């Protein structure tokens, strides 16, 4: 019984995610879903990415948190349209929550919509939002055993950003092992080693994202 209820919830969510996706397609909006453990650096990555690409891409942000609105305030302070979702206890975003934000945005004025999910290395990976792709962050402070222990998110993501590499001298974490184990779970994963604090490695991520937006839009024209 419990299993079939869960299955129904996931199926209902997939239907809503497909409807969201159709709207994004119609508006030629590229959308990605950014996931990680709490405190791995999602909001910091958004701040850096917005600063770097705001001259080229018109961006909007959906912030998902259990409660509080401090992340949306950080983004809105940059002059970027930002909508806060408070899940009221729920440990992930779902398609319905995303749809509820649509009335707050002018999608015709946006090229890229970034969804920052609730900080959780498990549940967000199970719920499609209608996004074009999923991205995830792992902080080196979390340790190099995480791809083997929490494989689903590594499997579902197109890109893995290994953040806080400035901490490498002070933690027991092998970048080699993260790469190796993550690629075992998902051989197609694009991996970047970055520090949102020092800026190291970020330009390669910006290039990847620029290219991804371009390719996604080009493919859409041929659909």
User: What residues line the site for a copy of itself (CB under 8 A)?
Assistant: 2, 5, 9, 37-40, 65-68, 70, 89, 91, 118-123, 139, 141-143, 145-146, 148-152, 164, 166-167, 170-172, 197
Task: Write down the least CB distance from residue 144 to a copy of itself, Å.
Answer: 9
Closer to a copy of itself by CB, 68 or 207: give it.
Answer: 68
Tell whether the torsion through CA atoms of 46, 205, 35 and 20 is positive or negative: positive
Indicate the helix (H) or strand (E) that contains 187: none
Task: Write down the least CB distance from residue 66 to a copy of itself, Å.
Answer: 6
Closer to a copy of itself by CB, 57 or 69: give it.
Answer: 69
Task: Write down the least CB distance from residue 142 to a copy of itself, Å.
Answer: 3
Indicate the helix (H) or strand (E) that contains 143: none
Going by their DSSP bridges, the two strands 82-86 and 190-193 should be labelled as: unpaired
What span, in angstroms and rounded, lies between the C-alpha atoms of 63 and 150? 23
What span, in angstroms and rounded, lies between the C-alpha atoms of 126 and 70? 25
Closer to a copy of itself by CB, 23 or 167: give it.
Answer: 167
DSSP-assigned states of every residue in 110-127: -SEEEEE--S-SSGGGG-
Closer to a copy of itself by CB, 42 or 212: give it.
Answer: 42
25 Cα distance to chain centroid: 18
Within 8 A by CB and 6+ apart from 3, the residues are: none
- The pair of structure tokens assigned to 51 is 């600063």
Task: Write down the least CB distance from residue 118 to a copy of itself, Å.
Answer: 7
Closer to a copy of itself by CB, 30 or 140: give it.
Answer: 140
Task: Write down the least CB distance from residue 41 to a copy of itself, Å.
Answer: 9
């Amino acid at each position: 019984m419990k299993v079939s209820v869960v299955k129904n919830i996931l199926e209902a969510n997939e239907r809503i995610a497909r409807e969201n996706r159709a709207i994004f397609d119609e508006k030629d909006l590229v959308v990605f879903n950014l996931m990680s453990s709490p405190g791995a650096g999602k909001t910091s990555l958004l701040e850096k990415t917005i600063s770097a690409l705001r001259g080229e891409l018109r961006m909007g942000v959906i912030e998902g948190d259990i409660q509080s609105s401090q992340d949306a305030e950080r983004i809105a302070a940059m002059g970027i349209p930002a909508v806060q979702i408070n899940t009221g206890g729920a440990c992930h975003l779902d398609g319905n929550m995303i749809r509820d934000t649509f009335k707050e945005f002018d999608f015709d004025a946006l090229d890229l919509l970034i969804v920052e999910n609730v900080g959780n290395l498990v549940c967000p990976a199970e719920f499609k939002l209608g996004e074009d792709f999923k991205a995830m962050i792992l902080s080196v402070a979390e340790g190099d055993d995480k791809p083997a222990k929490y494989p689903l998110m590594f499997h579902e993501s197109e890109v893995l950003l290994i953040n806080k590499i400035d901490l490498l001298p002070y933690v027991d974490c092998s970048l080699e092992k993260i790469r190796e184990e993550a690629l075992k779970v998902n051989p197609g994963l694009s991996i970047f080693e970055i520090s949102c604090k020092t800026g190291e490695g970020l330009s390669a991520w910006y290039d990847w994202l620029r290219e991804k937006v371009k390719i996604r839009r080009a493919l859409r024209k041929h659909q």
